[in-house]
Amino acid sequence: MARKITYKQAINEALAQEMARDSSVIAMGEDNVGGAGAEGEKDAWGGVLGVTKGLYGRFGDRIMDTPISESAFIGAAVGAAACGMRPVAELMFVDFMGVCFDQIFNQAAKFRYMFGGKAVTPVVIRTMYGAGFRAAAQHSQCLYSMFAHIPGLKVVVPSTPYDAKGLMIQAIRDNDPVIFFEHKVLYTLEGEVPEGAYAIPFGEADVVHEGDDVTIVTLGRMVHFARDAAQTLAKRGIDCDVIDLRTISPLDEETILESVNRTGRLVVVDESSPRCNVATDIAALVAQKAFAALKAPIEQVTPPHVPVPFSDALEDLYVPDAARIAQAVTSVMEFKR
């Protein structure tokens, strides 16, 4: 158990173990192998940031390079899933959802309902998201809320290597379409990951810091900032429950409500744009179902309602950080009626 690997390696290991276990698992995406049709090295890239590196050597043509035709290959993954395969397709950056969204939200998400419960579409769509990479407005967005809005999709946002592996294995074994969000800044994060295969059930939030004063609900990269803030605040005598949602559809309402009923204070931290995002959703949930417990207004820590800027000076201002989270927690603690 003491072995440490990166978030990126954890995802790679999950894919490799599931491909070895189940021959219906296949993978595809732009440069997932890298070098298809060229004269040089095969497996030259293993994905644009190397997440699928090495799978070609082990599994050959079960991992495929695709043309830059997201509609075609994401849709092909959906179609193959409805025909008994378990494809894992990579939509390189989630910002590219615009060119293939029909296949995700009109086809994959709706087959089961439209077809009266007879379709099973076990497709996984892996996608990179998030700011902090100096990649500007079209390669940095945090769009998970848009997928969580669609009935029929499951939306997974792992924050650690352990979770990335277990949630990816669950995603592959799951019989519904799953959108799997990988934060590119987290790829190099190291953590303890068991060597064996394991699945983390969806809809089960993790509590990464415990406290009775304030509940911080967050996900993805923001979990790390929230924990940093909680550790700083603990030294000042403010104890925070930090809830890592892990999946936003399904959503672990029970863990959130149990915590807020105990603390009476809520700060939601979300890297996505502030209108109709995870933060507003959680705030609404708590306002509706735990209103009586609230001792202070709900605080939301999100980026401003602007596109992700390019310049490092601006991007650093854009992304929420531990200081902003600590400030929000302090303000709910100091609230007086």
Q: What is the DSSP letter of 193?
A: -
Neighbours of 98 (CB within 10 A): 10
Residue selected from 8, 53, 112, 126 as contacting other proteins according to rule CB under 8 A? 112
User: What is the end-to-end Cα distance of the chain in Å, rounded?
Assistant: 49
Residues 121-160, one symbol each (x = binds other proteins by CB under 8 A, - = not), give: ------------------------------xx-x------
Q: Which of residues 184-203 bind other proteins (CB under 8 A)?
A: 192, 194-203
Question: Is residue 175 within the footprint of other proteins (CB under 8 A)?
Answer: yes
CB of 331 to other proteins, least distance (A): 25
Secondary structure (3-state) at 116: coil
> What CA–CA distance (Å, rounded) separates 174 from 180?
12
**C-beta of 296: minimal distance to other proteins in Å?**
25
Q: Which is nearer to other proteins, 117 or 337 (CB)?
A: 117
x-marked contacts with other proteins along 59-98 as a string, rule CB under 8 A: ---x-x-xx-x-xxxxxxxxxxxxxxx-x-----------
Residue pair 22/86 in contact by the 8 Å Cβ criterion: yes
CA distances from 298 to 82, 226, 321 (A): 42, 16, 18
Burial class of residue 203, CB neighbours in 10 A (0-12, 13-18, 19+): middle
Q: Is 274 in the site for other proteins (CB under 8 A)?
A: no
Does position 40 interact with other proteins (CB under 8 A)? The reply is no
Q: How far is the CB of 38 from other proteins (least distance, A)?
A: 14
CB nearer to other proteins: pick between 1 and 292:
1
Options 107, 140, 141, 280; binder of other proteins; rule CB under 8 A = 107
For the bound state, the minimum distance from the C-beta of residue 240 to other proteins, rounded and expressed in Å, comes to 14
CA-CA distances (angstroms) from residue 112 to 106, 119, 214, 216? 11, 5, 40, 35
Catalytic amino acids?
Answer: 139
Give min distance, CB of 281 to other proteins, in A.
Answer: 16
List residues near other proteins by CB under 8 A: 1-2, 24, 26, 62, 64, 66-67, 69, 71-85, 87, 102-103, 106-107, 110-120, 151-152, 154, 162, 166, 174-176, 192, 194-204, 206-207, 210, 250, 252
